[in-house]
Each structure stands twice: as structure tokens, then as C-alpha cells.
Amino acid sequence: MAAAAVDSAMEVVPALVEEAAPEAAGLNCLVNLPGEVLEYILCSGSLTAADIGRVSSTCRRLRELCQGSGKVWKEQFRVRWPSLMKHYSPTDYVNWLEEYKVRQKAGLEARKIVASFSKRFFSEHVPCNGFSDIENLEGPEIFFEDELVCILNMEGRKALTWKYYAKKILYYLRQQKILNNLKAFLQQPDDYESYLEGAVYIDQYCNPLSDISLKDIQAQIDSIVELVCKTLRGINSRHPSLAFKAGESSMIMEIELQSQVLDAMNHVLYDQLKFKGNRMDYYNALNLYMHQVLIRRTGIPISMSLLYLTIARQLGVPLEPVNFPSHFLLRWCQGAEGTTLDIFDYIYIDAFGKGKQLTVKECEYLIGQHVTAALYGVVNVKKVLQRMVGNLLSLGKREGIDQSYQLLRDSLDLYLAMYPDQVQLLLLQARLYFHLGIWPEKVLDILQHIQTLDPGQHGAVGYLVQHTLEHIERKKEEVGVEVKLRSHEKHRDVCYSIGLIMKHKRYGYNCVIYGWDPTCMMGHEWIRNMNVHSLPHGHHQPFYNVLVEDGSCRYAAQENLEYNVEPQEISHPDVGRYFSEFTGTHYIPNAELEIRYPEDLESVYETVQNIYSAKKESVE
């Protein structure tokens, strides 16, 4: 009977919505239904927000059912933006209609700003003050971020430019928020020992587009703790650690009981779950990100030690971190409480080496050198994070193919957040921004700060100041947009067009063209270093700016390129800066690139028709 009533009402609602008149034939049928059935219909998902607005204006009963704080608007909000529901508590009073309006407005503002970025910043890196419009937006930041995520998750190969700038904005917003949280975290007193929390902030900052939270990582660790408890129960069913409640723990003093916990941990981590030190791919940044350590079940000494330490402490074993040179360790006290202890009163644990327990002599054998007693001491959270970020900094300096140096930039930000007056790192940051040609105003600010901290750096500072000011002046002198017409006589030798997928004849890489010159426009030194004169046509031939599938940008001679007969997407981070869509055979330039090469798109269509249509016919 109820089902029949629902079916009947579902047929009435559309008519009611269309006519929105109290005299409609189906109105009495609808409003006379039981309240829960009527609410079920309105929450069924078949009605849009506009429909609900019209339905609520038909009579008092429907208006009451569609009140802002009720289930109907809550369901509308949930269906439209499901990822936002985690930010609301079931006990909170929420006017869902008002929330819907605010979120809708934030989405429109977000799209307006994203759409403006390509026109404003196509010719340069987004400047430091380029995000000021976003920072001054009214309304909850999570609504704005959610809209950016929606843009990034748009299906298909379209809206590439929107996705490119949405990603940049979201990256910036989240990093600023994480950095502020990290700075607040670092203000905690020295006895605040949440090593995992600090490590998660580093993870989040370097991976701001990933969904990483302390809560989720802690939940994964809790599941490991449960497995350890299961094993521990088989060793000692009355072990005090088994009585600890979730989220609560205290330290166990008896060495034998602590040893039982560590035995159970080693069995679960290394035998059962197969965690291991990553000796094969040691210099990989993923080894330092806690969420990746848990996913891949591998890491380097410091990340493996933090995982081991966190589990041990939850089960009552008071392990401590040791900033041992070349190989981070943990120490486990064997001496009696209240007595004077030295380095020989501890056992040292190598979490990288499957939890192996080491003496002082074995520690020195591990790294192949004798060290002073001070290096066996315990370190606080800030020192642990300093070492983690220092490792990332070293990896960032080793980057070869990533021409954006994103890891180096991120690790510098983190290190300087902890130690803002490190002159050499400030100088490295200024040089990096100068090398990348970005944020000249920020470079000048950094250099001024360096000069204040250490006047002895005036030589290096003066050089960078001079060249940065010259860069700023050159930018001011730039006039208009250079438009290149294929029909112009001086461009008659240009064979290829922007958006075409090409293959390098010599090196075999796949790429997409995003610019061209009628002859090589690089300086004599570049031409000599790249041995351009050895080419049959030398530098007197068209050269093309290409985005390569390995993430690099290159400048290739026309005679070295050929059509890729099996075109595929080019997974380069800057594709969206220049192109709006990938069609399956070529890329379509966005509005800004098309202004610069207005005749290329027609040429691309002709090429695609001739090359790929002919291939398809021959196959058939």
C-alpha cells in the first residue's frame, strides 16, 4: 500500500512542479500522504534544488517539510556535495538551505577566479600576489576548495586549462593552511612528543592534493596495534598492554613485559605484514611520507623508526628517537628508573633492519665509524622533523627531470618555517626562484633579509639584486603579444603546428608542440653546446617548443621531428597551461595560445585529416 502511494506521488510531483499552482489536480493527493512518505519522495533524488524551491511555495505543509534545517535540504546538499558532509557533526544545528546557498555562491566565485587566471598569468608564473583574490574571498574556505576539487575531477580530456589553474590554486591554498598548522605545532613545549603529527604535516605539505589526515594515518596504525595485541595475547594473555583502551596508554616499567611487546611487534610488522627497509630505492621521497610508508610497507630509517616508535608507545614501551648519523635509530632503556644512565644502559633498535636490537659497538659497526656519546642522545620533535626535511632537501637537490624543482621548493619552505634565519638556505631559495624566473619581488625580499642577517653575504646578494632588478625592468618593457601568422612569408618553412603530437627521430620521445620559431632563437652558446651546427640544416630551420612526456620542456629542430602515427596524451604538468582539450589525435590550444598562433588550428585540422584519416583508411 505504501509503495503504491509512493509511486502515485512520484507521478504527481513533476506535474506539481511544472504548474506550481494550488489548484493542480495532484496537489491534494500529494499533501494528504503521511509525512514520512512525503519526505521520502522529496529526498528521493529525482528533484533538483530549483524543484524543491518551487514545491515549497505551493502550500504550508510542503513549505514546512522543506524548511531550511530539515532533511529535504540536507539531502539536496549531500547529493550535490557529498565530500563536504564529513565537516558536519550529527549533533550540530545546520540551516541546510543557507549552507546550500553559500556553497553555491562559493562555487561560482571559484569558477570565476579560475577562468581569469589563464588570461592574467599565461605569460608568467603566477606571482606571489596572484592569489590575493582567493585569500580575500568571503565564506568558508572548504567550500572554495571543494569547488576546485570538483573542477579537477571533471571527466574526460576537456577543460585542461581550468584543471591546470584549479590545481595551482588548490595547491597554494592547502600549503598555506598546512604551513600555518605546522608553525603552530612547532610552538608546542619541548615535552610535546607527537612525532607522528609532525611527520604528517610534512607529508601533507609535500602532497597537498592528496587526501592525507592524521586521523586516517592513526586509524591505519591502530589496526596494526590490534594485530600486535592479538599476537601478544598468544605470548602473555595477561599482559597489561591488552587492557589499554583505544586512544589511551601508559608506560610499562617491567623490561620483560616491554620485551614481549617488541617481540610481538617485530612478528607483525616484519613477518606478517612484510614491512621492510627500502634498500633498492632508498633515495625516493615516497620513503619519507608516512601515508606512503603504510601503503607500500617500506621506508628509510627515520620513517620506519617513527612508525615503530608510535606503535611501541601506544602499547606502553617508552622508546625514544636517536638522531644517529647516517642511520636513524630508537633507544630502549635497560637501566633502573632514577639511576644515572649512560649510553651503555640502552639497547638501540634498528626499525629499518627489521627491529634488530643493537649494542653501542654494533651501532658503530652499522655506520662504519666511531661516534661520540652525544650522538646517542634522545632528540625532540623539532630535531626529528629537521632531519626528515633535511632528507627531502637533499633529494630535492638531486632532482634531474623535474624542471619545476617542486620538491626542493617545498622542502626549503618547510625548513625555513622551522629555522627562518638559515642564511645559506635563504640564499639557495633566492637563487632557485631567480633560476626559475619566478617571484622576482619575493627574491628581493629574501635578499634584503639575508643582508640584514649576514652583511658578509653582500657579494652574492648584490649580484642577485642587480640581475633581479634587470629582470623586472625587462618585464616592464615587454609590449603586447607576439602574433605568428603561418601565412607570413618568413614563416613559409614552418611545417608543423601547435597541438600536434610529434616524435623525436633521434631520441624517440613523444611530445606536443606549444610554440615555434622560423629559425633557432637561442644564443650562440646554446647552439654550440647542443651541437646544432652538425645538423644538415643547422640553425637556419624552424625550431619548436615542445612538452615532452617525461615532464621536460625542449627546443627541437624541425628535421628531428616527425608525426606520431599513434598519438597519445602527453603527461606533462604544463599541458593545461597551453591547451584546453585533447581530442585523441591532437591538442586544441586554449584562447591565450590561439591568440599567439591564430592560423595554426586550421593547419592542425588539415594535418590530422591527411595523416590519421589516411592511416585509418589503409588499415580498413
pLDDT tens digits, one per residue of 502-547: 999 999 999 999 999 999 999 999 999 999 999 999 999 999 999 9
**Pair type for strands 276-277 and 298-299:** parallel
User: What pLDDT sits at residue 534?
Assistant: 93
pLDDT at 618: 55
State yes or no: pLDDT of 2 exceeds 90.
Answer: no
Are the CB atoms for 315 and 228 separated by under 8 Å?
yes
Which pLDDT belongs to residue 9?
Answer: 42
Phi-psi region of 480 (alpha: psi -120 to 50; beta: other; left: phi over 0): left
Residue in this structure with the C-alpha cell 617525461, named with its chain if needed: 550
Using an 8 Å Cβ cutoff, are 591 and 116 in contact? no
Q: What is the pLDDT of residues 573-595, one digit of tens each?
A: 999 999 999 999 999 999 999 99
248 phi, psi to nearest 5 deg: -125, 145
Identify the band that residue 129 occupies on the pLDDT scale cut at 50, 70 and 90: low
**pLDDT of the residue at 615:** 58
Beta strands in 155-204, from DSSP E residues, in sequence order: none
Question: What superfamily in CATH does domain 489-613 come from?
Answer: Hemimethylated DNA-binding domain (2.30.30.390)
Ranked by mean pLDDT, which of 64-73, 142-151, 463-472 comes out on top?
142-151
Please check the confidence at residue 600 and state whether its pLDDT lies above 70: yes
335-345 pLDDT tens trace? 877 677 889 99
Q: What is the pLDDT of residue 7?
A: 46
If you write DSSP's letter for every residue of 97-120 in order, what string do you get?
HHHHHHHHHHHHHHHHHHHHHHHH
From the list 325, 330, 358, the residue with the least C-alpha distance to 344 is 358
306 pLDDT band, cuts 50/70/90, is: very high
Across-strand partners of 331? 320, 348
Total residues found in the chain within this entry: 620
- Alpha carbons 283 and 235: distance in angstroms, whole number: 38
**pLDDT: which is higher, 359 or 29:** 359
Predicted TM-score (pTM) of the model is: 0.86
Comparing 98 with 474, the larger pLDDT belongs to 98
Helix axes 423-436, 440-453, angle to 10 degrees: 160
Rounded mean pLDDT, 406-417: 94
Q: What pLDDT, in 10s, does the model give residues 220-269?
A: 999 999 999 999 999 999 999 998 876 677 889 999 999 999 999 999 99
Q: Are 16 and 58 contacting, i.e. CB atoms less than 8 angstroms apart?
A: yes
pLDDT, position 26: 54
Instruction: State the pairing for strand pair 501-504/561-563.
Output: antiparallel
Sequence ranges of the chain with CATH classification 2.30.30.390: 489-613
